[in-house]
Amino acid sequence: MHFLDQAKIFVRSGAGGPGAVSFRREKYIEYGGPDGGNGGKGGDVIFEAVHGLNTLIDFRYTQHFRAPRGKGGAGSNRTGAGGDDLVIKVPVGTQILADDEERSLLADLTKEGEKIVFLRGGDGGRGNASYKTSTNRTPRQHQKGWPGEEMYVWLRLKLLADVGLVGLPNAGKSTFINAVSNADAKVGAYAFTTLRPQLGVVSHRQREFVVADIPGLIEGAADGAGIGDRFLGHIERTKVLLHLVDCQDEDVATSYRIVRDELEAYGADLTDKPVVVALNKVDTIDAELVAALSAELEAESGRPVFALSSPSRQGLDAVLDALLERVDDSSDPQADDDEDAPAKAWSPL
């Protein structure tokens, strides 16, 4: 399952600096020769694919990238300083697309450390010293620097979520992803607040993994009830599920079972995935009830149950530890290879 992460940015390389007009001034020499140096080259815009970035989220906040211009030339034949190159770091797998109808592919950064000069900085203009000839010993010509280049482009990245969040509507899935990741998912005290999948990058114990929040599942979801079914395709390729059960539900075992049945009915071996089960919103009940409901849920699921609350942050670290452990265990080298295999009910974002 792939999510597409994309961002539109503006890039501009630096203009070249102007060439200088200058004449030597020396004692006893009335008319010194021309000595205006050339302008410096403007900075290039370079894209570099780096390790450790997972998403294009940062590009939602910074959208304009301008390399500095070259400095002007100076007397004594001094060439202006070049503008520094602007290196834009992107995740491995980032594609750069034109901002036109076809979104034509301009560049594809597939390997770690790969660098491409995307826009070249303008050359510096010539200083008057370079115009000196045998017939014109006092040229005043010079050039302005050459302009940089600029354009809007789309960055696009196929993103693989490691963890899929499942549960009934209102179980607290979006609240959880907001509490543990950089996501800013909509939260509401009603069912189907989440209408489309949302990704968050979790940084935990110096590691990063991607969590996908999907709309809540209800009975019959696999057959199209509610809206969750449309998005089950998005958790097909996750490595691990986190199943949240609201402790305020009338019967937590039933709540759990409904969602499991839908995962089962959907097929695609969703129920074979490692799953972490958590009793959520435990800030709303006392410890005794937490223990009793956890025991019910453990009996139903046959798994250890974590007590969780996003607002009080109870259990967050323990749940993230459990997820990280299972993400590591189930590293699946094939995961990226069968992109073309038909995924059931996959819907584009």
Ligand X SMILES: Nc1nc2c(ncn2[C@@H]2O[C@H](COP(=O)(O)OP(=O)(O)OP(=O)(O)O)[C@@H](O)[C@H]2O)c(=O)[nH]1
Q: Which does 281 bind (CB under 5 to 8 A by kind): ligand X, Mg ion, none?
A: ligand X
Q: Check residue 193 for interaction with ligand X (CB under 6 A).
A: yes
Q: Which of 269, 291, 311, 328 binds ligand X (CB under 6 A)?
A: 311
Q: 3-class DSSP state for residue 327?
A: helix
Q: Check residue 194 for interaction with Mg ion (CB under 5 A).
A: yes
Q: Check residue 171 for interaction with ligand X (CB under 6 A).
A: yes
Closer Cβ to ligand X, 53 or 278, answer by number: 278
Q: Check residue 6 for interaction with ligand X (CB under 6 A).
A: no
Least distance in Å: CB of 317 to ligand X?
A: 15
Rounded distance, CA 10 to CA 151, Å? Answer: 6
181 is in an annotated binding site: no
Q: Which of 192, 220, 285, 321 binds ligand X (CB under 6 A)?
A: 192
129 is in an annotated binding site: no
Question: Which residues lie closer than 8 Å to 341 by C-beta, 6 or more apart?
Answer: none
- Name the one range near Mg ion by CB under 5 A: 134-142, 187-195, 219-227, 320-328: 187-195
280 is in an annotated binding site: yes
Rounded distance, CA 162 to CA 332, Å? Answer: 10
33 is in an annotated binding site: no
Residues 205-234 that bind ligand X (CB under 6 A): 215-216
Rounded distance, CA 213 to CA 172, Å? Answer: 10
**Rg of the chain's alpha carbons, rounded to an integer?**
29
Q: Check residue 32 for interaction with ligand X (CB under 6 A).
A: no
Alpha helices in the chain (DSSP H): 173-180, 229-232, 252-266, 287-301, 316-329
Closer Cβ to ligand X, 151 or 192, answer by number: 192
Least distance in Å: CB of 245 to ligand X?
A: 10
The CB-nearest residue to ligand X is: 216
DSSP 272-293: GS-EEEEEE-GGGS-HHHHHHH
Rounded distance, CA 162 to CA 210, Å? Answer: 5
301 is in an annotated binding site: no
Q: Check residue 174 for interaction with Mg ion (CB under 5 A).
A: yes
Rounded distance, CA 253 to CA 276, Å? Answer: 15
The binding track of 116-155 with respect to ligand X, each residue x by CB under 6 A or -, is: ----------------------------------------
Q: How many CB atoms lie within 10 A of CB 191?
A: 15
The Cα-based distances of 293 to 47, 209, 299, 345 in angstroms read: 52, 29, 10, 34
Rounded distance, CA 184 to CA 167, Å? Answer: 19
Closer Cβ to Mg ion, 79 or 198, answer by number: 198
Q: Is 173:191 a contact under the CB 8 Å cutoff?
A: no
Residues touching ligand X: how many (CB under 6 A)?
A: 24
Applying CB under 6 A, which residues contact ligand X?
Answer: 167, 169-175, 187-189, 191-194, 215-216, 280-281, 283-284, 309-311
The binding site consists of 167-174, 192-196, 213-216, 280-283, 309-311
